[in-house]
Amino acid sequence: MGQFHAERTIPMRRVGIPDDIAEPIAFLADSKVSGYMTGQCIAIDGGVTLQHSMITYSIDDVVKQMNN
């Protein structure tokens, strides 16, 4: 797999680097810019979460699962 696989499967087309994590941490640590935020989940994954949230289900499939 490796980097080539990541470049094909991650929507941002690259693997993350340390600054990709450090910058959001710095943002959250600064109460002047993030002090009003509460209870958030921040995905730092190059868009992988968004890609998986695009999966759709038909209402019939959802009802079947609820009845099982």
User: To 10 degrees, the CA torsion angle through 28, 34, 40, 46?
Assistant: -60
Amino acid at 64: K
Joined together, the tokens standing for residue 40 give 């958030």
Give the model confidence (pLDDT) of 1-22 as tens digits. Answer: 567 777 788 888 889 999 999 9
Give the model confidence (pLDDT) of 26-58 as tens digits. Answer: 999 999 999 999 988 899 999 888 876 655 666
Q: What is the pTM of this model?
A: 0.62
Please answer whether residues 13 and 7 qualify as being in contact, where contact means their C-beta atoms are separated by less than 8 angstroms. Answer: yes
